[in-house]
Amino acid sequence: MRYIEPNRVKILMMMFFATGAIGIVIGLSPISPPSMTMMITFMGVINIGLGAFFTFIFLTQIQSQPDKRKKKRTTD
């Protein structure tokens, strides 16, 4: 997998965890229509899982090293 910038991964993590938590709260509250409670809760659980996946990516990825072949050489 390609290297992803840490700021981008943090934003994705926060987005998925927040929408997952909101989905679970709305799905389990009496606000949602009775026919959609299970679906909304399930989508919230999927978002929590995606947030956990991006947390794993954030914690395990290795800093990419610049390519030495592309570096301009100076003649001294």
The answer on pLDDT for 75 being more than 80 is no
Q: At 60, phi and psi to the nearest 5?
A: -110, -10
- Give how many domains the chain has, as a whole number: 1
Q: Which of 1-10, 22-31, 65-74 has the highest mean pLDDT?
A: 22-31
The answer on pLDDT for 56 being more than 90 is yes
Q: Does 39 fall in a domain?
A: yes
Q: At 35, phi and psi to the nearest 5?
A: -80, -15
Q: Does 37 fall in a domain?
A: yes
Q: Does 40 fall in a domain?
A: yes
CA distance 5 to 27: 33
Q: Does 70 fall in a domain?
A: no
Instruction: Please state the rounded mean pLDDT for residues 24-43.
Output: 92
Structural domain containing residue 42: 6-61
The answer on pLDDT for 76 being more than 70 is no
Q: Does 71 fall in a domain?
A: no
Q: Does 31 fall in a domain?
A: yes
Q: What angle do CA 25, 26, 29 make, to 5 degrees?
A: 85
Q: Does 76 fall in a domain?
A: no
CA distance 15 to 21: 10
